[in-house]
Amino acid sequence: MLETTITRSNPLVDPSLAVWSWEIPVYLFAGGIVAGMMILGGLAMLRIAKGDDPRTFFSLHTPLFAFMLINVGMGALFLDLAHKLYVWRVYLTFQPDSPMSWGSWVLLVVYGALMASALVRLPQAWPWLGRRVPVLQTLSDAITGSPGRMRLLGWANILLGAGLGIYTGILLNTMVARPLWNTGLLGPLFLVSGLSAGAAAMHVASVFLPRRPAPEGMLGGAISALVQQLGPEPPERRTVDTLIRADIAFLAIELVLLGLVVVNLQTSSASHAVAAALIVSGPYAWAFWGVIVALGILAPLALQWLELDHRIPHTVLPALLVLVGGFALRWVMVNAGQASHIVHAAGL
């Protein structure tokens, strides 16, 4: 029998840590989707470099979309900061031991890569800008016209995407104080989850974003460049099926990784086992089993399998479920992770 009382009652720290609420999960989720999109977009660029049709939705429009999402993520991160006016301090230093410092600098590079990638399609997406700043058109042509440059950009997207995806897990993983995060599988898990979420996000975008010829005006053009697909053509069926197939693979890997994470924690120290219990049988079990596993992985796996088998019509539902599950994964890991702590081993 052990009775522990602690007189401390600091806001956001007691009774259990809650310094991060929705903002960090949104940031990690947005980062994960962007990472997935960059990898998928990068892969498409490599194919284009080999001679595939460059006008496919997924190859060149995604950077603009990802650019938007990363802004949402960064916005959420900024909202989470408690000392906002000092945010610039991050870029006055580089702290090699700090994942967050790495992340901050990597994000700058990601921004650059995304902008370069977006540039490829920007003059067409936003004709007004293309006319006013002809150099953009020149740059765009220089990239699209050169398979070598395209390949380079593709690899940059893939590598940065992988880095970003793993980083979102590493950020949590390095914190020894929170046993739930202390598994090396967290990075790969978040990466794969990001890939499936990235594919799902593009799938959803392909369905919901309007298809019209790019408007000519300044404002309309700017907005449509961000929220509109290029041209009236829907993505090719083949491309969509490829996405679905890829997503099935991602989800399957994610399921395996998730299982490994749980087993890994349960078979580790008492603290880790107690942490695993938080999500497996504790207060976060409903979200873990119900939302992440059932709704977010198993249901879309089954639905997409049936879709490919032409037993049910194509819908956007599986993609939406994947997105819900992807966010839930980050939300649960961030919140349950904060609630997890090292179990006192020290005796009297």
Q: Which residues of the shown chain bind another protein in the complex (CB under 8 A)?
A: 1-14, 17, 19-20, 80-87, 89-90, 92-93, 95, 97-101, 103-104, 171, 174-178, 269, 271, 338, 341-342, 344-348
The angle subtended at Cα 30 by Cα 28 and Cα 36, nearest 5°, is 100
Please identify, using beta-carbon distances, which residue of 157 and 271 lies nearer to another protein: 271
Structure-token pair, residue 32: 């994960």
Q: How far is the CB of 2 from another protein (least distance, A)?
A: 6
Decide: 232 and 212 in contact? Cβ < 8 Å: yes
* Main-chain dihedrals φ then ψ at residue 314, nearest 5 degrees: -65, 130
CB atoms inside a 10 Å sphere around CB 13: 12
Spatial neighbors of 5 by CB under 8 A, at least 6 apart, are none
Helices (H), 92-185: 99-125, 127-132, 134-144, 147-173
Please identify, using beta-carbon distances, which residue of 80 and 241 lies nearer to another protein: 80
Number of residues assigned to the chain: 348
Please identify, using beta-carbon distances, which residue of 266 and 269 lies nearer to another protein: 269
Provide the CA 320 distance to its chain's centre, in angstroms: 14
The residue among 229, 247, 240, 238 whose CA lies nearest residue 299 is 247
Q: How far is the CB of 94 from another protein (least distance, A)?
A: 9
Q: How far is the CB of 272 from another protein (least distance, A)?
A: 11
Q: How far is the CB of 74 from another protein (least distance, A)?
A: 13
Q: How far is the CB of 281 from another protein (least distance, A)?
A: 19
Please identify, using beta-carbon distances, which residue of 242 and 269 lies nearer to another protein: 269
Decide: 20 and 80 in contact? Cβ < 8 Å: yes
Q: How far, in Å, are 11, 66, 209, 318 from residue 59 at the CA level?
A: 46, 12, 16, 22
Please identify, using beta-carbon distances, which residue of 6 and 219 lies nearer to another protein: 6
Q: How far is the CB of 336 from another protein (least distance, A)?
A: 13
The structure tokens 């994964």 sit at 329
Q: How far is the CB of 109 from another protein (least distance, A)?
A: 16
Please identify, using beta-carbon distances, which residue of 145 and 347 lies nearer to another protein: 347
Structure-token pair, residue 175: 């914190």
Distance CA(125)–CA(213), nearest Å, equals 9
Provide the CA 146 distance to its chain's centre, in angstroms: 29
8: left (phi over 0), alpha (psi -120 to 50) or beta: beta
Q: How far is the CB of 97 from another protein (least distance, A)?
A: 4
Please identify, using beta-carbon distances, which residue of 83 and 310 lies nearer to another protein: 83
Please identify, using beta-carbon distances, which residue of 171 and 322 lies nearer to another protein: 171
Please identify, using beta-carbon distances, which residue of 14 and 141 lies nearer to another protein: 14
The residue among 61, 70, 49, 78 whose CA lies nearest residue 112 is 70
Q: How far is the CB of 177 from another protein (least distance, A)?
A: 4
